[in-house]
Every structure is written in C-alpha cells, then in structure tokens.
Amino acid sequence: MGTLSRICRYISRNWPLFLVSVICMLVSTVVSVQIPLLTRAAIDEVIIPLAEGQLDIELGKAMLFVLLLEIVGFTAVVGLFSFFQRYANTYFSQKLVYDIRNDVFASLQGQSFAFYDKTHTGQLLSKVTTDMDRIRRFLGFHLAFLIRFTVLVAATLYTMFTINTMLTLFLLPIMPCIFATFYSFGKKIRPLFTQMRQQYGSLTSDLHEAISGIRVVRAFAREDFEKEKFASQNDKYFQTTLASAKIRGFYIPFVGFLIGLGTIIIFWYGGFEVIMGRLTIGSLVAFNAYLAMLVMPMRFFGMFISGFHRTMAAGDRIFEVMDAETEIKEKPNALAMPKLKGHVKFENVSFSYEKDTPILKHITFEAKPGENIALLGATGSGKSTIIRLIPRFYDVSSGKITVDGYDIRDVKLKSLRKQIGIVAQETFLFSMTIKENMIYGKPEAKTDEIIEAAKAARAHQFISALPRGYDSKVGERGVTLSGGQRQRIAIARALLMNPRILILDDSTSSVDVETEYEIQKALQVLLKNRTAFVITQRVSTIRNADKIIVLEEGEIAEEGTHETLMAKKGTYYQIYQTLYETQKPIVDDVPEHAPSKQEETKQ
C-alpha cells in the first residue's frame, strides 16, 4: 500500500472532523468569490452613475451604504467560517498524527532486539518527531490549501467566464504552463527531500550518541574528533539544503513571471474591451480582483507540491518503521505458559546474528529447577547470547530451548517473560522515582513487598538515607546514583517479580566485594526453588554455583561443579586461577562464602 493511500486510511478514521473542515472551507470560499461582484456593482451601478450625474446623490449614498454593508457581512461570514475551518482542521490533523504516532510507538514496542541492533536511535527519534510533524503540517495546512485551491479556482474561473469569456480564454493557456512548471519542480525536489530527511536523521543520531557518551569523549579527550564528525554530517545536510534552495530559487520566481503575464493580458485586452464599450470598468476591476485571488493559490501551489513531496518522504520513513516485521512472532495457537518450575533445556542449539557467522554451535545442557548455573568464558564466547535466548529475545537458528518441557517458540511471549527476572550488565533505570523503577515489572506490588525486595538486594539502607526515600527521583539513565546503587535497584526490581527463572548478567560488576557478599548472602535464600543463570567474573560467585558452563568460541568446553572442574585442571582451572590471583587481595578479606548446595549435601 502506497504512502498516500496509507495516510488516506488514517484520514478516513477521522472523517467527521475532516468533513466539518471541508464544509466550512467550501462556504468561506464560495462567499469570498461573491465579494468582487459586489465591488463591480458598487462601481458600475453607484459610483460611475453618481460621477456622471445619472443617479440621485441621496439614493446613491443609500445604495452604496447597502452594498458596503453586504461586503462587510460577506467578509464577516468568510472570517467566521474560516475560524471554524482552521479549528476543525487543526483538531483533525493533530488527531490523525496522534493516531499515527501511537501506531508507530506500538510497532517499536513490538520489534525484536534484532531490529534495534540494526537501527540508529537518532534515526528513530527523527522519524517519530520531525517526520511526524511534517505530516501534521501537510494535513493541517497543505491539504486544506489544496481543497481550497481547487474550489476557489473552479468558482473563480466560472465567475470569470460569466463576466467575459474571451478575456478568460486569453488567460487559460498560462494555467498549464504553471502546472507543468510545478510538476517539473516536484520531480526534482522530492529526491532531495528524501536525502535531507536521511541526513537529518544521521545528524540527530550523531548528536544523541555524542551527548550520551560525553563522559567517554571527555575521558579520551576526543572532543575535536566528535566536532569534526558532527561538522561533516552537518555540512552534508547544509549542501543538500542549498541544492533544494537553488531549485526553489529558479522555479518559484518563474511562476511569478507567468502570473505577471496574466496581469498584462487583463489590462491589454480588458482595457481595449472597456474602450470599445463591451466591458464595464467595474467588471474589469472585478476581473483583476479575481486574478489576484488566483495569484495567492498559484504562488502557494509550489508550497503544496514541496510539502506533498516532503510529506511522502517523511511518510515513507514512518511507515517503514511500522511495516518492519518483527523476527520474534507468536504462533496463532501459542499457549499461555503455566506457573514455571524452572526446568530449562538447551537441545543442540545453534545461533547466529548474521548468516554464516555462528555465535553458538550445538549447545546442549540442562538446568534443573532451583539450580544456579554460572556461565564463564572470554568476551565473544556466547555467554550473553545464551541468556538472551532463554526469554526468546532472539530465536535459535537450529535446535530448541524448552522450559518445563514447553518449546519456548510455542508459548505466548508475555506469559514466559513475566516469569523471568533479568538484571542486565548495563543497568538501565527510567527517569522516574526509585519506587516506580522497582515496581516496573510488578505495578501492583505493595509497600512491604518493595521494602523486602530492596532489603534482599541490600538497597534499602541507602534508599532510606535519601531525602525522599523511595520517592526520590532517579536522573536520566540513573546518573544520580552510583553504579553499585543502580545495580542493586535493578536486582530488587527483578526480585520483586518473584521470578521462577533469574538471569544475572554480571549484575554485581559495579559493586565492591563487601557489597557483593551482602547481595550473595541474600541471594542464597532468594534463589531457593529458582533457576538462576549468572554471568560473572567474580570468584566468590563462580565457586558457589551448582553447575559451571565454560564456553569457548560458541561451544561448551567444560561443564560441571567447581570441584570437578578444578580437579580436571583444564580450561576452567586456568581461568579460575587467573581470576583468583587478580581478586585474591580482596577476596581474602571477605568472610567465607555461604556453602554451596553440594557442600550442604555433603555435610
């Protein structure tokens, strides 16, 4: 479906408002066309007869007064209906864009992670803001202008034909020339507008990235590099804007020249007709007034063509987002996941973000309910990919993942994800209060539950010390809190959901060892009867796990408990020794960790 037809479909949703706007516009336009006829009557029937002594002065004054009252009345009607038309049209355009904006946002919420992996944030922001405003302006001004232009031209030409057919026919050849000029103008300007929108999106993306990463920029003293990068994008946008200005600079004045020819024709042929007595002075004045009425829409028709092409370019970009197919789809007969026990199985799972570039190869392992699984390996070994596959953020390329015997591709996404608690490596907090961030996954949570989760995550103490406690506002991306504080709130947010499966992606990387120990102490209790997947480089966390999976280049190199893997003296032994030597000065100062489940069993 084309962009224009898609926009028309949204127009049809709000047709009553559009109809009111059109009716008001028709009334104001038709009435405005009558005003020059009243002017003609005033000149031909009152002013000239009075000047020539053919009309009684008192009668002439009365007639002129009545005509002036009619002109004032008609003008007032035009103004009144124009007001209603503008209000209704603004309401209509805002409501239509409101609907499109909601649909775009809903589409963005439904997209898979793969979509955001390939799309720049700046481009998306540009589409949802600037491009959306472009459509609003077109519907609120340009479309209304087109309708008014069509009605005005039809009514004006009809009236002009009734005044003098030959004079009107002399003017008609200019019309196709004007339209041909604007058609050529639109054909050349649209590609430039599309290019400008793309470049503006890139400019916005660079700006967003530079602001978001300002700490990194300052830390590496790369301000000059960022300035040059931004200036390069800015220059491209500037040059494209100049190219479009050159096109407008040629075509718009040329149209003005064609309209000027019309004025010359009126005074040349119309003046001759007046001299010959075949046309009254009042009719010539009215005719010139009608041409003036056509001049404005003719001049603005270029703006409509420009606005139309800008809007189509913006619409293409917006509907591109709406039409993007999510890679993660629910089956029509997807089942609602019952309450989880937490039995997770990977059966010969392979995965790649891009074809011919495998990230995971033939991964097979089992996590029984309540087990704590530690994932270990070098950067790029596939640890994070494994935990992203469990909530089905991505679909496996081959093999399958089951939870409690259900293939996760056969169940409803929300019913699965609502029972999985996730604390990501990059902690994200919304610009809301601490309480609102904590209850994000469970809005109905009670105060006692919130405090309990915060205490479990060792966050209650520092939250209570804040001036407004749990009602304290968190700055953008949590910048008003330390890294450790943000992570503890994120952990509390996950725990508050009481998930059957818990995913901790290096979730204690930003806390000191003492704080980590406190968190681990609480997790020993909270992880009971839950399946946990933990990615970490912390020695204390690794050796406490029920099962350790060591990954190398997307494959399982070793699997087992800390004791069995240490006895093998293989890959895990080497990794552990390296980590232990690095962390030994601090680890030795931390109280002995709580016994693992194997140790409890042995005891």
Strands across the sheet containing 344-351:
360-367, 344-351, 398-403, 406-407
Q: What is the mean pLDDT of the chain?
A: 82
Binned at pLDDT 50, 70 and 90, residue 271 comes out as: confident
Distance CA 228, CA 234 (A): 10
Residue 491: per-residue pLDDT: 83
Residue 596: per-residue pLDDT: 43
Q: Is the pLDDT of residue 407 over 90?
A: yes
Spatial CA neighbour of 315 closest among 142, 143, 136: 136
State the Cα angle at 286 between 281 and 290, rounded to 5°: 150
Instruction: Name the DSSP letter for residue 330.
Output: -
505 - beta bridge partners? 535
Distance CA 432, CA 427 (A): 15
Residue 444 backbone dihedrals phi, psi, to 5 degrees: -85, 5
Residue 411: per-residue pLDDT: 93
Contact 315, 7 (CB under 8 A): yes
Binned at pLDDT 50, 70 and 90, residue 583 comes out as: low
Residue 299: per-residue pLDDT: 61
HSE value, Cβ hemisphere, 13 Å, CA-based, for 362: 1
Of all residues in the chain, the percent with pLDDT exceeding 90 is: 13
Binned at pLDDT 50, 70 and 90, residue 209 comes out as: confident
Decide: helix, strand or coil at residue 112.
coil
Residue 215: per-residue pLDDT: 78
Number of other residues whose CB lies within 10 A of the CB of residue 427: 23
Q: Is the pLDDT of residue 173 over 60?
A: yes
The H-or-E segment that residue 226 falls in is helix 223-265
Distance CA 122, CA 131 (A): 12
The H-or-E segment that residue 78 falls in is helix 57-110
351 - beta bridge partners? 360
Mean pLDDT of 178-203: 77
Within the chain, all domains assigned CATH 1.20.1560.10 are found at: 3-323
Domain at 3-323: CATH architecture = Up-down Bundle (1.20)
Q: Higher confidence at residue 514 or residue 247?
A: 247
Pairing of strands 501-505, 531-535: parallel
Decide: helix, strand or coil at residue 303.
helix
Residue 590: per-residue pLDDT: 47
Distance CA 158, CA 149 (A): 14
Spatial CA neighbour of 298 closest among 148, 418, 90, 111: 148
| CATH match of 337-419+531-603 with 3.40.50.300 | yes
Within the chain, all domains assigned CATH 3.40.50.300 are found at: 337-419+531-603
Residue 435: per-residue pLDDT: 92
Task: Using the structure block, give the residue that is written with the tokens 């420009």.
Answer: 306
372 - beta bridge partners? 532
Q: Which two tokens stand for residue 548?
A: 């350790």
pLDDT digits (tens, 9 = 90+) for 325-383: 778 888 889 999 999 888 999 999 999 988 778 889 999 999 999 898 999 888 888 88
Contact 373, 546 (CB under 8 A): yes
Which phi-psi region, left, alpha or beta, contains residue 440 (left: φ > 0; alpha: ψ -120 to 50)? alpha
Distance CA 385, CA 276 (A): 91
Which residues make Cβ contacts (< 8 Å) with residue 36, sequence separation at least 6?
159, 285, 286, 289, 290, 293
pLDDT digits (tens, 9 = 90+) for 516-541: 666 666 566 566 678 989 887 777 77
Of all residues in the chain, the percent with pLDDT exceeding 70 is: 89
pLDDT digits (tens, 9 = 90+) for 31-88: 988 888 888 888 888 888 888 778 788 888 888 889 889 989 999 999 999 899 888 8
State pTM to two decimals.
0.64
Mapping DSSP onto H, E and C, the string for 164-184 reads CHHHHHHHCCHHHHHHHHHHH
User: Of 36-45, 256-265, 293-302, 338-347, which has the strongest mean pLDDT?
Assistant: 338-347
Spatial CA neighbour of 304 closest among 92, 93, 90, 141: 141
The H-or-E segment that residue 40 falls in is helix 15-41
Q: Is the pLDDT of residue 147 over 90?
A: no
Mean pLDDT of 194-209: 81
Q: Is the pLDDT of residue 581 over 80?
A: no
Which residues make Cβ contacts (< 8 Å) with residue 400, sequence separation at least 6?
347, 348, 349, 407, 409
Residue 360: per-residue pLDDT: 92
Binned at pLDDT 50, 70 and 90, residue 599 comes out as: very low
Task: Using the structure block, give the residue that is written with the tokens 């127009």.
Answer: 11
Question: Per residue in 368-384, is it b (16+ CB within 10 Å) or e — as a string?
Answer: eebbbbbbbbeeebbbb
Q: Is the pLDDT of residue 254 over 90?
A: no
559 - beta bridge partners? 549
Listed range (32-36, 285-289, 474-478, 530-534) with the worst mean pLDDT: 474-478
